[in-house]
């Protein structure tokens, strides 16, 4: 069956001297493994559309066993990613997470659009990579349906406390008066038993805004660098614990971002 799809190339592996195996997150069929014959060759009409992070229209011969790329028309290539090592390392992490989350034959347009938004902002240099990472991770928890309830303490309902405990696996917030069992005494104790992190009121407020903002406003993070850094650590821990996976692309990004 010949299908026309719109999608984002999240992985492109060289096959021999001239071909590529692509992973494309499509609007119509979710994740697709697509063979691009000649995708490596500059003379090929498939070359631009076979680049990692290309986004556009693809015509694919879709069979039960294989998907063969027939036509590719890249509308965006996010060229700016290739000019900044830190941005490109983060883009690799985003691509890997999205490729894990979106399944074959299960369209997930909101996740695709989240990835596209993040890649656009990164590529254009509109936000610092660490902020894009925080927003991506928090919004991914929403896509996975495991986002934290940050409206207030889950026991007493108060939302005016200076700091809280966040139970990562059930997404519940508790205030300092209603602290959970075996709550850590300080940040160094975090990560034992229940995976509980401490969040200040400012961090909770900022995370809540990222989760509830319209797409155009979701990258608005507080100006306080400490709040942003701490929120980034929480968002990463939260997402990775729910995905139950460590990402080498993330380790690499972190190394690069320290330079």
Binding residues for Zn ion, per CB under 5 A? 153, 155-156, 175, 178
Least distance (Å) from Zn ion to the CB of residue 197?
16
Least distance (Å) from Zn ion to the CB of residue 84?
43
Q: Nearest 10 degrees: CA dihedral of 225, 203, 252, 137?
A: -130
Q: Which CB atom, from 74 or from 175, has the smaller least distance to Zn ion?
A: 175
For residue 183, give the nearest of 200, 167, 169 by alpha carbon.
Answer: 167
Least distance (Å) from Zn ion to the CB of residue 172?
11
Least distance (Å) from Zn ion to the CB of residue 153?
3
Q: Which CB atom, from 156 or from 193, has the smaller least distance to Zn ion?
A: 156
Q: Count CB neighbours of 255 within 10 A.
A: 10
For 195-233, the DSSP string reads: -EEEEEHHHHHHHHHHHHS-GGGTT---S-HHHHHHHHH
- DSSP designation for 180: P
Instruction: Output Rg (C-alpha) for the chain, integer angstroms.
Output: 20
Least distance (Å) from Zn ion to the CB of residue 158?
5
| Rounded Cα gap, residues 139 and 120, in angstroms | 16
Q: How many residues does the chain have?
A: 259
Beta-bridged to residue 174, according to DSSP, are 165
Q: Which CB atom, from 33 or from 156, has the smaller least distance to Zn ion?
A: 156
């Amino acid at each position: 069956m010949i299908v026309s799809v719109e999608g984002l190339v999240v992985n492109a592996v060289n096959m021999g001297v001239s071909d590529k195996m692509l992973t494309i997150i499509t609007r119509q069929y979710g994740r697709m493994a697509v063979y691009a014959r000649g995708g490596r060759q500059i003379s090929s009409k498939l070359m631009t559309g076979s680049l990692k992070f290309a986004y556009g229209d693809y015509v694919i011969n879709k069979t039960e066993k294989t998907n063969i790329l027939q036509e590719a028309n890249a509308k965006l290539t996010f060229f700016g990613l290739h000019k900044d090592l830190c941005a490109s390392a983060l883009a690799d992490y985003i691509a890997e997470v999205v490729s894990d989350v979106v399944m074959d034959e299960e369209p997930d347009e909101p996740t695709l659009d989240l990835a596209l938004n993040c890649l656009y902002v990164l590529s254009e240099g509109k936000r610092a990579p660490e902020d894009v990472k925080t927003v991506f991770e928090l919004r991914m928890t929403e896509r996975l349906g495991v986002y934290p309830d940050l409206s207030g303490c889950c026991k007493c309902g108060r939302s005016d406390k200076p700091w809280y405990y966040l139970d990562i696996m059930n997404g519940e917030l508790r205030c300092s008066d209603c602290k959970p069992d075996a709550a850590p005494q300080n940040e160094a104790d975090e990560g034992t038993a229940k995976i509980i992190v401490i969040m200040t009121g400012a961090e909770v407020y900022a995370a809540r805004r990222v989760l509830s903002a319209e797409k155009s406003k979701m990258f608005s993070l507080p100006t306080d660098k400490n709040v942003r850094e701490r929120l980034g650590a929480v968002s990463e821990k939260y997402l990775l614990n729910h995905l139950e996976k460590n990402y080498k692309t993330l380790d690499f990004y972190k190394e690069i971002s320290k330079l």
